[in-house]
Amino acid sequence: MENGDDNREGETLEEIVGKLLLQQKKWLAIAESCTGGGIAARMTRIPGSSRYFDSACVTYSNRSKERLLGVPNALLAEKGAVSAEVAAAMAEGIRKKAGVDLGLSVTGIAGPDGGSPQKPVGLVYIALSDGRKTIPERFQFHGDRETIQAEAAQTALEKVRRYLTRG
């Protein structure tokens, strides 16, 4: 699945997600931490993506999560930036701030440093918010920094695809 390949009719996952967003007349905004803008880069590679992709924030620091997304400082202090609760707050925050249908967020530890026994390198939380519910999911990826970032981006886009094809 390198470079976003999905191998369905030769389309990349970001192309499939884009077509689904367009068909359903939905707009997406993304809040990225450990993926550093990688998901937004994939989305904006697609010609015409401005018809369904609104914006992205790379909120790497806790300060930027608070300032740009409205993640409460108390939540960051209590749960840590890499948590289901913060991923949910990031997804809700970007959806509300951008005024879009779907907010997607990714926060995690890409490594090689920064891990702990409780939160190892490769731990990633991905959340999707649609205004009715916000669903964070926990993932554990393995490999080097680049591999973890790529897997997190692919999994985040797959989460959006699954949501859009649920009907």
3 state SS for 76-141: HHHHCCCCHHHHHHHHHHHHHHHCCCEEEEEEECCCCCCCCCCCCCCEEEEEEECCCCEEEEEEEC
pLDDT digits (tens, 9 = 90+) for 27-60: 999 999 999 999 999 999 999 999 999 999 999 9
d(CA 63, CA 145): 23
Does 8 have pLDDT greater than 70? no
Task: Decide: 31 and 69 in contact? Cβ < 8 Å.
Answer: yes
- Beta-carbon contacts of 145 under 8 Å, excluding residues fewer than 6 positions away, are 110, 111, 112
d(CA 165, CA 167): 5
What was the pLDDT predicted at 6?
42
| Mean pLDDT (whole number) for 118-124 | 97
Mean predicted lDDT score pLDDT of the chain: 95
What was the pLDDT predicted at 167?
55
Q: Which of 153, 151, 146, 145 is nearest to 38 (CA)?
A: 153
CATH class for the region spanning 2-165:
alpha beta
48 φ, ψ (degrees, to nearest 5): 85, 5
d(CA 167, CA 118): 37
9 pLDDT band (50/70/90 cuts)? confident
Does 7 have pLDDT greater than 70? no
| Mean pLDDT (whole number) for 94-99 | 98
Q: Which of 98, 4, 8, 6 is nearest to 43 (CA)?
A: 4
pLDDT digits (tens, 9 = 90+) for 127-155: 999 999 999 999 999 999 999 999 999 99
Task: Tell me whether strands 11-12 and 28-32 are parallel, antiparallel or unpaired.
Answer: unpaired
| Mean pLDDT (whole number) for 83-94 | 98
